[in-house]
Amino acid sequence: MVEHQYTYYCKVTNNKLYTPGVYTFAAGAYHRNPSLVAHSVKVWRQGPKGGVKLVKESWRWHGSNKYVTKDEKAMKEFMWVKLQAQPYIKGA
C-alpha cells in the first residue's frame, strides 16, 4: 500500500519553543511532527489532489478534520497562510 504525501501548514503564535510564523512540512496522513502540531494554533493539511482540511483549529486538540476547500472564507485564510509558509527544519 502506497502512503500518500500531504503538506501540513502549522500556524504558530506566541510560543516559547517555536518562533511565531507559519511552518510547512510534508508527511503521510499521520504527521510525524507532534511537537510542532501541538504548539500550533491552527493546522491545515493539503492532500495530493489539492483538497484542504483544517485538522486543528485551536490550542486544544480539536481534530476537526473538516474539508475547507469549498468554504471561500476559509480558503482565503489558507491561501494567505500558504504564502507565508516557510519550511520546517527540525532543530533549527
Q: What is the pLDDT of residue 3?
A: 66
Average pLDDT over residues 54-81: 83
Say what the pTM is. 0.85
| pLDDT tens, position by position, 52-62 | 999 888 766 55
**Beta-strand relationship, 21-27 and 86-87:** parallel
pLDDT in tens, 17-53: 889 999 999 987 666 677 888 889 999 999 999 999 9
Spatial CA neighbour of 4 closest among 35, 50, 43: 50
What's the pLDDT score for residue 57? Answer: 84
DSSP 2: P
